Amino acid sequence: MMKSVAIRWRRLALSSIAVLATLSPALAASPGQEAAVNASRALVPSPPWPAGDERGMANTLGRGTWSRCAFHLAQQNAKTYEISHVRSNSMPLSPFGRPLAYEYTPSVSIPGTRHVFNGEQVKGGEPGAQGTQMDAIGHFAYYDKVWDGQGMPPADTAKYYGGFTQKNVKPTPDSPLLKLGIEKVPPIITTAVLLDARSHMGKVESGALIGASDIEAMLKAQKLEWRGILPGDVVYIYTGWGNNWKDPDTEKSYYTMGPGLAFDGAKYLEDRAVVLVALDNPFTDPVAAGQLQQRAKPPQGMEQGLPFIIHHHNLTQAGVHQIQNANLGELARDKVWTSCTMILPLRSRGHAGSPVRPVAIGVPNQ
């Protein structure tokens, strides 16, 4: 009798826990993941960073972020997701970078041998500004006052992240970046959070702003309140705009406009010391239809002379890295809200950006 009562109580307790897990984001986390997150908290450094810093929020990376990643790598049903688009001569091209063109060269034979080898070369353009690409912190600078467009730009007065000046970073027009170049970015190996703005906001139109309240609402809807956004996280934001990425790019619409991050959203992520933010959009910033042709005002920032205020804030103030043109559709379809992500920009000395092939490893929840 006592044994049967104990069994019934045990079944009732287990069923109650299961019900609570569906209601409580805290209980929705697996014990292993929650333990990994909690163990990492004391291991991840927090800003401010020392004078002369060139890494920004990448200083958060290390044992703490790697240990959080390890949980996802060890899961039995984990899957690898490509977060980049395939690069080609026919992909969409940014109007802010020189058009990229590859030249495919003939097969080469070596006399006296049986060998044949193939290669290709970059015929022209900016590899680090096209396709899925990552910005160096030194990609952006700013003036204290709005330049009126008259005469030569006062480039020698430009200021950069960490108090660096134009003389420190790019002293001559033909100089590489002497500070804050893409080679200063360490391997980014950390946990990623995917926020599904497409489900939260419906169809996300060009110029739409994804703000702090949206981020909190998505965390709640996706049962991620128990962890939130952690120091050292990468934040991926799926808007659905990436569905407009077509190769070959016959419509020429992808790069003309797009949704983006609101300023209070960028501040929210800075306050949580994220290492990088990436959207499936062209600019990270929101761009209204007609804005690039000067037929419409930017959605935000012009009162400060900063139409690309997210670029400005992330790169010159917060030290938060950025990837443009992230390929997030499959990750969103599988509802992989948390994962281990690995991001390795090329170590090109003095470059302002790099082609990049991010991957995420996580368990499909669909």
pLDDT tens for 22-67 read 333 333 678 999 999 999 999 999 999 999 999 999 999 999 999 9
Q: Which fold has domain 31-89+128-362?
A: Glucose Oxidase; domain 1 (3.50.30)
pLDDT at 104: 96
Q: 204: alpha, beta or left, given left = phi > 0 and alpha = psi -120 to 50?
A: beta
d(CA 57, CA 47): 8
C-alpha pair distances (Å), 253 with each of 79, 198, 259, 323: 32, 19, 13, 20
Can you give the residue ranges of every domain in the chain? 31-89+128-362
Q: Where are the beta strands (DSSP E) in 76-228?
A: 79-82, 101-104, 108-109, 116-117, 120-124, 133-135, 188-196, 209-210
Q: Which residues of the chain, if any, have pLDDT below 70?
A: 1-28, 366
pLDDT at 28: 60
pLDDT at 64: 98
Q: What is the DSSP letter of 90?
A: T
pTM, two decimal places: 0.91
pLDDT at 78: 97
pLDDT tens track for 149-198 = 999 999 999 999 999 999 999 999 999 999 999 999 999 999 999 999 99
Burial of 264 from C-beta contacts in 10 A (0-12 / 13-18 / 19+): middle
Answer whether 169's CB lies under 8 Å from 249's CB: no
- What is the rounded end-to-end Cα distance, in angstroms, of the chain? 42
